[in-house]
């Protein structure tokens, strides 16, 4: 993987926060911490995109003919299969 150097500007408060994260022992330096933040942001954006697609699919599927008891039973069945 090719690494590129970037220059960023942060506030004193942000710098203190970054240093505290490094001092906690989770990260070796500023770059490791910032790369982790980027990975987390990418993962969150992907989850949001998946959720939006599911919502659009649900809206486009029309009005359900199932009642609340049907939906509840399906949810209970799925839960028992996963648990």
State pLDDT tens for residues 49-74: 999 999 999 999 999 889 999 999 99
Q: What pTM was computed for the model? A: 0.70
3 pLDDT higher than 80: yes
Residue range 8-55, pLDDT digits in tens:
999 999 999 999 999 999 999 999 999 999 999 999 999 999 999 999
Angle at 79 between CA 73 and CA 81, to 5 degrees: 105
Max Cα–Cα distance, the chain, nearest Å: 57
């Amino acid at each position: 993987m090719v690494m590129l150097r970037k220059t960023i500007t942060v506030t004193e408060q942000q710098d203190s926060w970054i240093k505290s994260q490094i001092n906690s022992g989770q990260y070796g330096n500023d770059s490791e911490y910032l790369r982790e933040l980027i990975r987390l942001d990418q993962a969150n954006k992907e989850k949001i995109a998946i959720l939006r697609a599911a919502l659009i699919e649900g809206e486009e599927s029309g009005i359900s003919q199932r009642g609340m008891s049907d939906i509840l039973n399906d949810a209970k069945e799925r839960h028992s299969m996963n648990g």
